[in-house]
């Protein structure tokens, strides 16, 4: 029995030593992880050395990178798209995330670089930097300021960040802030092309609807033009849902079930 206890004790000591060694080596290895995603698929080079194709995650022990500065080059498999190149820093024990969306018009390409670093105040922090700057930052559906923006003492949890600027494509990031770390998001916004604007307008028009509200007379007149003096072409009832085509002050242009288009008073309708 004594021999068994001694054996188990020795085994426990060896296990503890092994686990401590793994922890110490992991902490002192000075290595970090890199994740790269692109649209479309691309080849990834670090300091001119090919390391794989996207989506790429150098996240396992044999693949981890030594901490330090690197030049990352992304070469799209689509030869019509231009190569992207930038400087990144790999931090020990930290995952660095690089994202890039290519466009035939290089100015319309967008991307982001997300890193973590120790917080000077020991709290969860979020820093958002954009190019160009002075872009609106929407954090979890609430506008919190303009770039460059530092939010201190943010809740350590999952968050959604939207970066918005007139004339540029919206950029959405899903991040997770960590207690004692500063999450830094560097974002490159792509310009919005004429094609993008037309698609946005079409999508907005297709998805927008209005619901008819209660009226003093129990129905709502649909008029030929946006004026109370315009001819009545139909009536709609409270609760009816109509497709919204356009709007001017006080009036909505709608499409009826039979395909007829006309105008209704915005006072008795609500956008859905």
Give pTM, 2 decimals. 0.63
% of the chain beyond a pLDDT of 70: 84
Q: Which comes out higher in pLDDT, residue 87 or 203?
A: 87
pLDDT tens per residue, range 113-138: 999 888 888 899 999 999 999 999 99
What would the two tokens of residue 90 be? Answer: 């790999």
Q: What's the confidence (pLDDT) of residue 269? A: 92
Domain boundaries, the chain: 29-193, 208-271
pLDDT at 143: 87
Q: State the pLDDT at residue 3.
A: 45
pLDDT digits 0-9 by tens, 47-104: 999 999 999 999 888 899 999 999 999 999 999 999 999 999 998 888 899 999 999 9
**Which fold, 208-271?**
SH3 type barrels. (2.30.30)
What whole-number percentage of the chain has pLDDT above 90? 64
1 or 179, greater pLDDT: 179
Which has the minimum average pLDDT: 7-16, 92-101, 135-144, 155-164? 7-16
pLDDT at 51: 96
Is residue 1's pLDDT more than 50?
no
User: For the chain, what is the mean pLDDT?
Assistant: 85
Closest CA to 188 of 112, 137, 103: 112
Residue 28 has pLDDT above 70, yes or no: no
CB atoms near residue 235 (< 10 Å): 15
* Pairwise CA distance, residues 191 & 193, whole Å: 6
Instruction: Give the pLDDT confidence score for residue 206 in this predicted structure.
Output: 56
pLDDT, position 34: 95
Give me the pLDDT at residue 17, please. Answer: 40
Residue 21 has pLDDT above 60, yes or no: no
Q: What is the mean pLDDT of residues 158-162?
A: 92
pLDDT band at residue 197, thresholds of 50, 70 and 90? low
Mean pLDDT in residue range 262-271: 92
């Amino acid at each position: 029995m004594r021999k068994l206890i001694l054996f188990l004790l020795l085994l426990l000591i060896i296990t503890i030593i092994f686990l401590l060694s793994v922890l110490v080596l992991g902490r002192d290895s000075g290595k970090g992880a890199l994740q790269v995603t692109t649209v479309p698929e691309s080849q990834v080079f670090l300091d001119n050395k090919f390391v794989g194709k996207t989506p790429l995650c150098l996240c396992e022990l044999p693949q981890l990178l030594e901490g330090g500065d690197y030049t990352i080059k992304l070469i799209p498999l689509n030869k019509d798209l231009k190569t992207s190149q930038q400087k990144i820093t790999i931090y020990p024990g930290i995952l660095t995330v690089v994202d890039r969306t290519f466009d035939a018009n290089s100015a319309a390409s967008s991307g982001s670089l997300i890193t973590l670093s120790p917080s000077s105040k020991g709290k969860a922090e979020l820093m958002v930097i954009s190019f160009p700057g002075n872009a609106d930052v929407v954090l979890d559906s609430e506008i919190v300021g303009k770039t460059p923006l530092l939010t201190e003492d943010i809740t350590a949890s999952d968050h959604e960040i939207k970066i918005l600027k007139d004339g540029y494509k919206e950029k959405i990031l899903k991040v997770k802030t960590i207690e004692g770390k500063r999450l830094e998001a560097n974002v490159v916004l792509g310009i919005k092309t004429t094609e993008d604007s037309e698609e946005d307008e079409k999508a907005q028009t297709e998805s927008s609807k209005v619901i008819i509200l209660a009226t003093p007379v129990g129905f709502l007149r649909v008029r030929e033009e946006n004026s109370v003096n315009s001819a009545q072409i139909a009536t709609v009832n409270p609760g009816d849902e109509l497709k919204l085509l356009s709007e001017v002050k006080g009036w909505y242009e709608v499409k009826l079930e039979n395909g007829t288009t006309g105008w209704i008073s915005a006072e008795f309708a609500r956008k859905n």
